[in-house]
Amino acid sequence: GLYNFDHFSIEYFGDTDVARQVLRGGAYDYNREFSATGYSIGYESPALSDGRLRKAHLATDAPQAAQGFVFNLQNPLFEDRRVRQALAMLWDFEWSNRQMMRNLYIRQQSFFSNTDLAARKLPDEAELKILEPLRGQIPDEVFSKVFEAPKTDGSGVIRDKQLQALELLEQAGWKPDGDQLVNAQGKPLSFTFLTSQNGLDRLLLPYKRTLKQIGIDLNIRRIDSSQYVNRLMSRDYDMIITGYPVTTSPGSELVNYFGSSSANDPGANNYMVLKDPAVDSLINGLIRADTQADMLHYAHALDRVLQWNYYWIPNYYPPGSSTVWWNRFGIPNVQASNDEAIESWWQVSSTPLTNEQMTAELIKRGQSGGAH
């Protein structure tokens, strides 16, 4: 039932809009879509209405990469957890998702999203045995609360969050001075978001406006890719957007992302410049775990400590692989939930069929599948 095609041809496009239009023209069969707007409305056509063109979210149970805005922790501005927590409160995901991403995405809550490794319940007895020796080194909330990313009503008005953030910032030593927040030395609360991506401004500009309303200056600086790589390697930035691949069996790669030994390694991906002995201890325990249960307990503990320290502002992930294809393939009735599994599809027709035609053809052949 696998590897049913004799030949795969892969087309590369430098422009995703062009790729979308070429697919709609029938020049190729299958596209993985990464734009919420593109997926939602970019394929509207009679072919989509009658089923000749299909779209669906496949692989809904696949692990999702952890993506977020990360703080450079070697910047003294971000040393205080209350500052990081306050800044995390003020990114309005719900409004951005509704206004710009058609409510397609799911808020990131974990560094192991969409897997059993994510800490989504209170720690059990076995996990508490791991965490208890770290008490005093890790946030108290780790022991008693399940982390939830700050949530708004999506209206774009987050005055309640701004007031909470101001209270946290005042506790951390930041006071209003005119239209700015300043510390005891009179230095304003200001930082720069470094990026090389086109299109990120639409997520950052509303955040910049929200911060400015309570006296925080966010500067957005876009540079070319080569400069950006050099700045990453030298850890020369305040905040960036980054992602971490997620697997169901994590191991020593976690040192590369979160370990103290990789914080200032130019070739490593510890872009938080995180040097936390508690995190190191949990990573080492996870790597040494010799049973599935132990691995899960250490992963949950690590997730909690990373979550509650507010080392990042968690972003979002899709509800699966946003996929569009021409309806000329049979698809198993029971599909893989963690992979698109195209190798399990098979050709039914050389030309796209409507839903009714596909059903009739499969019945005639005595085959099941095809519907999704």
Is the domain of 234 the same as that of 342? Answer: no
Q: How many whole angstroms separate alpha carbon 295 and alpha carbon 287? A: 8
Q: Is residue 6 part of a domain?
A: no
Q: How far is CA 247 from CA 58, 203, 285, 309, in A?
A: 18, 27, 17, 22
Residue pLDDT, tens place only, 14-23: 999 999 999 9
**Res. 1 pLDDT band, cuts 50 70 90:** confident
**Sequence-separated (6 or more) residues with CB below 8 Å from residue 103:** 97
Is the domain of 151 the same as that of 120? Answer: yes
Q: Is residue 217 part of a domain?
A: yes
Is the domain of 57 the same as that of 206? Answer: no
Residue linked to tokens 């004799």? 6
Residue pLDDT, tens place only, 56-87: 999 999 999 999 999 999 999 999 999 999 99
Is the domain of 313 the same as that of 324? Answer: no
Say if residue 372's pLDDT is above 50. Answer: no
As a whole-number percent, the residues of the chain with pLDDT over 90 amount to 96
Is the domain of 129 the same as that of 193? Answer: yes
Structure tokens at 303: 């997730």
Question: 370 — alpha (psi -120 to 50), left (phi > 0) or beta?
Answer: left
Q: Is residue 10 part of a domain?
A: no
Q: Is residue 234 part of a domain?
A: yes
pTM of the model: 0.92
**CA max distance for the chain:** 80
Is the domain of 255 the same as that of 138? Answer: yes
Is the domain of 290 the same as that of 332? Answer: no
* Average of per-residue pLDDT values in the chain: 96
**Total domain count, the chain:** 2
Q: How many whole angstroms separate alpha carbon 208 and alpha carbon 211? A: 5
**Res. 198 pLDDT band, cuts 50 70 90:** confident
pLDDT for 85? 98
Is the domain of 282 the same as that of 309? Answer: yes
Could you list the residue range(s) of the whole structural domain that residue 338 is in?
Answer: 16-61+320-365
Instruction: Give the residues across from 324 on adjacent strands.
Output: 31, 55
Residue pLDDT, tens place only, 208-234: 999 999 999 999 999 999 999 999 999
Say if residue 371's pLDDT is above 80. Answer: no
Is the domain of 252 the same as that of 138? Answer: yes
Q: Is residue 344 part of a domain?
A: yes
- Find out whether 115 and 317 touch, Cβ atoms under 8 Å: no
Q: Is residue 370 part of a domain?
A: no
Q: Is residue 372 part of a domain?
A: no
Is the domain of 40 the same as that of 76? Answer: no
Residue linked to tokens 């949950």? 300
Structure tokens at 241: 């957007």
Q: Is residue 4 part of a domain?
A: no
**CATH classification at residue 168:** 3.10.105.10
Q: How many whole angstroms separate alpha carbon 341 and alpha carbon 331? A: 9
Average of per-residue pLDDT across 310-339: 95
Is the domain of 203 the same as that of 222? Answer: yes
pLDDT for 370? 54
Is residue 98 packed enough to be buried (19+ CB in 10 Å), middle (13-18) or exposed (0-12)?
Answer: middle
Best CA proximity match to 21, nearest among 48, 40, 43, 54:
43
